[in-house]
Amino acid sequence: MSRHLTRWISLLTIVSMAFLAACGGGSEAGGGGMAEEQVLNVGRIKSEPPSLDPLKATDNQSGLVLRHVMEGLTRMGEDGEPKPAMAEEWEVNEDATKVTFHIRENAKWTNGDPVTAEDFEYAWKRVLNPDNGADYAYQLFYLKNGEKFYNGDAKAEDVGVKAVDDKTLEVELEQPTPYFVSLTSFYTLMPVNKSVAEKNEDWAAEAKTYVGNGPFTLDTWKHDQEIVLKKNEDYWNADKVKLAQINLPFIGDATTGYQQYQAGKVDEGDTTIIPADMTKKLLDEGEAKKTKEPAIYFYMFNVEEEPFTNQKIRKAFAMAIDRTSIVENVTEGGQQPASGFVPWGIPDHDQDKEWVDTRDDYLAPKAKPEEAKKLLEEGMKEEGWDKLPSVTIDYNTDEGHKKIAEAIQQMWKKNLDVNVKLQNSEWKVYLEKTKSGDFQIGRLGWLPDYLDPMTFMDMWVTGGGNNDTNYSNEKYDELIKKAKSTADQKERMEAMHEAEDLLMEEMPIAPIYFYTKVYLSKDYVKGVKYLPDASIDYTEAYVTEK
C-alpha cells in the first residue's frame, strides 16, 4: 500500500462498520477481570513520527499519537459522529456559516494551564500563517478569509476564528459547511498552548517540552525507537481512561513485528506486525480480524496515450480483470472486488445507507472475456488499428503492487490476448512520471479526506490537481460543480451518482478493490475503538488478566 498520508475528517452518521466483529471491538465481555498492570503494547508505528506538532503532522502515524496526547474541540465516535471533547457543547447557526464552541471549564494542559479559546485561535492562525509552511493549511480554508490570509490577501484579524472570552470560540465560515464540526476532531485543528509555543518554537520536538491536553501524556520519546504514553490524570474525562501506559515501539519490519506479537511483547497492531504474505493465513485461522477501510485501489489509463484514447478499449481492459481472483488469490486480505469508483464505507447522505448500496454495480466481480474481447475489437476497428499499440503498466516498487501487476498482465494475456509490459520505479520517480503524464497505465490507492463521496468524485474534473489520467468531460465537470454548489443532500447525492454513472461508462480508470484494515489483537485487549475512518482510539481501552 502507498505510504499515503491520510487526513481524516468525518461527516455525518454512518452505520457502524465493524464487521466480523468478534472480540476486541468495544465489547465488555471476555475472560478474567482487569489486569493489575494496565499497560498496552501497540504495534502500529513503523518509523519515527515526523512531527507531533499539529501544525507539521501530515501522516497516519503522527496522527495516531496526536489523537491520544492532544484533543480537538470534538472526538470522532464509533458512529463517525463528532462527540464533545474540549468543547462541551456548540451551536451552529441556521445556514451553517457560524459555529460557537463552548470549551469545558475543567479542560487543562499538562503543564496546568487551562485550555482556552485563545489557544485554538492561536493554533489555527498559526497553521494558516504562510510563513509557517504548514502542509495541511488548506484544511482550514473553510474559515472565512482563511485562504485569503494564507495567500497574503487578508490580515490575521480578518480570519473567521475568534476567542470571545476564555472559554468561547466563535468560528465564521467562508460558505455553508454543515460538516465543519466533525472536521474539528482532525489533528491539524487541534489546539496549541499559546504561551508554550511562543516561548519555544520547538516545544513539540521532545517529550520533556511537550505540552498536550489529551487523555495521555507524552512521557517518553526515544527518537527512532519508541514513544511511551502515560495516563493524563488531569484529563477532563480521566475516569474513563483505564490504561496507565501505552508503549508504542517503532517496528520497521513486519516479520519482526509478528514475532514480537507471538512472543507477547506486542499486544495489538496493524500491518506493522502482519507480514503481507501471512495475512490470509492469520485471517483464516481467526487470529487476525479486519474492518472495512473506505479506500480504493485502482488502475488509471492515460487517455491521451494510445490505445487508451479509445473508450471501448479502456472498457475492454477494465472488464478483462478478474477482481475476485485478485482479492482471493493475490492480495488475500479480505478486500472487496471494486464494483465502482466510490468505495465501501462511504455514506450516501440522502438515503442513510452506504453509497455502494445505493448505486448500480458497474463492474462484475469476475472477468467477462467474451464481452471484453468484442469491445476491444470494436475499439480497434474504430481507430483503424490492425495491431494494438504496445502497452506498459507502471507501478511503484512494492511487492504487493508487483504481484497485482503480474496477475493482471496474465489476465489480459488470457482474456484479451494482449501482451503488456511491466515497469516499476522508485516512489518519487513514479509520482513524477504519473503527474507529468509519462505513462499508459498506472496504479493508485486513494484514501478519503472526509467521509463523503465528494472526496473521490472531484478527483476527475478537468485539470484537477490529482487527475493524472488527463480525462476531461464537460458533463462530468458540470455535475460535480452542481453537487458542490448546494447544501441539499438529495441534490448533491443525485448529481454525484450521475457523475459516477458517467465515469464508469467512460472508464478513465479501472477500479480493482476496496481496502480492508487487518489487525491483530490479543484476547486480553479490550475496549479499543476501531473508528469508521479506519483510525483507532485507545482512550477507553484496557487489558484483562492473561
Partner 1 sequence: MAIPAEKFQRAERKLTEAEAIRRPSLTFWQDVWIRLRKNWLGMGGLVVILLLAFMAIAGPWMTEYTYYQQDLGDGRNLGPSSEHWFGTDDLGRDMFVRTWYGARVSLTIGVVAALIDLVIGVLYGGISGYKGGRTDEIMMRIVDVLWGLPYLLVVILLLVVLGPGLDTIIIALTVTGWLNMARLVRGQVLQLKNQEYVMAARTLGADTKRLMKKHLIPNTMGPILVLLTYTVPNAIFAEAFLSFLGLGVQAPVASWGTMIDDALTVILTDEWWRLFFPTLFLSLTLLAFNAFGDGLRDVLDPKMRK
Partner 2 sequence: MARYIGQRLILLLVTLWLISTVTFVLMHSIPGDPFSSEKKLPEQTLRALEAKYNLDKPLPQQYVLYMKNLATGDLGISIKTPSRSVNEILSAGFPVSARLGLQAIVIASFAGVIMGMIAAIRQNRPTDYILMVVAVLGLSVPNFVLGPLMQKYLGLEWEIFPIASWGDGFGSEFQYTVLPSIALSFLPLALVTRLMRSSMLDVLGQDYIRTARAKGLPPLKVFSRHTLRNAIIPVVTILGPITINILTGSFVIEKIFSIPGIGKYFVDSISNRDYSVIMGVTIFYSALLVMMNFVVDLLYGLIDPRIKLGAKEGN
421 binds, among partner 1, partner 2, none (CB under 5 to 8 A by kind): partner 1
Binding track over 39-78 against partner 2, x by CB under 8 A: --------xx-xxxx--x----------------------
- Choose between 58 and 311: whose C-beta lies nearer to partner 2: 58
Positions 429 through 458 that interact with partner 1 (CB under 8 A): 429-430
CB count, 10 Å around CB of 395?
A: 21
In DSSP terms, 87 is beta-bridged to: 103
- Of 30-38, 261-269, 332-340, 363-371, which segment contacts partner 2 by CB under 8 A? 261-269
Q: Is 134 in the site for partner 2 (CB under 8 A)?
A: yes
Q: Residues 205, 197: contact at Cβ < 8 Å?
A: no
429 binds partner 2 (CB under 8 A): yes
- Between CA 274 and CA 351 the distance in angstroms is 37
Residue 254 phi/psi, 5° resolution?
A: -65, -30
Question: Parallel, antiparallel, or unpaired: how do β-strands 245-249 and 39-43 relate?
Answer: parallel
- Distant-in-sequence, close-in-space partners of 215: CB < 8 Å, separation ≥ 6: 68, 71, 231, 232, 235, 237, 238, 241, 539
Output 122 or 136, the one with its CB closest to partner 2: 136
Q: Give the x/- contact pattern for partner 1 in 380-419, rule: CB under 8 A.
A: -----------------x-x--xx-xxx-xx---------
Eight-class DSSP state of 289: E
Of partner 1, partner 2, none, which one does residue 27 interact with (CB within 5 to 8 Å by kind)? none
Interactions with partner 1, residue window 153-182 (CB under 8 A): none
Selected binder of partner 1 within 1, 12, 35, 278 (CB under 8 A): 278
Q: Is 154 in the site for partner 2 (CB under 8 A)?
A: no
Q: Which residue's CB is nearer to partner 1, number 62 or number 272? A: 272
- Whether 516 and 335 have beta carbons less than 8 Å apart is answered as yes
Residue 362 C-beta: closest distance to partner 2, Å: 24
Cα separation, 17 vs 19, whole angstroms: 6
Q: How far is the CB of 402 from partner 1 (least distance, A)?
A: 5
Compute the chain's Rg from CA coordinates.
24
Burial of 442 (0-12, 13-18, 19+ CB in 10 A): buried
Name the minimum Å distance from CB 256 to partner 2. 5
Q: Can you list the alpha helix ranges (DSSP code H) found in 129-222?
A: 146-150, 180-183, 194-199
Of 96, 87, 103, the closest CA to residue 179 belongs to 96
Closest separation in Å from C-beta 97 to partner 2: 23
* Residue 218 CB, nearest approach to partner 2 (Å): 12
How far apart are alpha carbons 228 and 475 in whole angstroms?
53
Give the nearest distance from C-beta 143 to partner 2 in angstroms: 15
403 binds, among partner 1, partner 2, none (CB under 5 to 8 A by kind): partner 1
Q: By CB under 8 A, is residue 444 in contact with partner 2? A: yes
Distance set, CA 543 to CA 30, 39, 41, 46, 521 (Å)? 10, 7, 10, 23, 11
Q: Which residues lie closer than 8 Å to 385 by C-beta, 6 or more apart? A: 307
Site membership for partner 1, residue 255 (CB under 8 A): yes
Considering the rule CB under 8 A, would residue 123 count as an interface residue with partner 1? no
The answer to the question of residue 28 lying near partner 2 (CB under 8 A) is no
Q: Which is nearer to partner 2, 354 or 449 (CB)?
A: 449
The DSSP-derived string for 318-342 is HHT--HHHIIIIII-S--EE-SSSS
CA distance 415 to 413: 6
| 250 touches partner 2 (CB under 8 A) | yes
Between 51 and 177, CB nearer to partner 2:
51
Binder of partner 1 out of 39, 422, 431, 502 (CB under 8 A): 422
Contact residues toward partner 2 (CB under 8 A) are 2, 4-5, 47-48, 50-53, 56, 130-135, 137-138, 150-151, 202, 204-205, 222-226, 249-253, 255-256, 259-260, 262-263, 265, 426-429, 431-433, 435, 444-446, 465-466
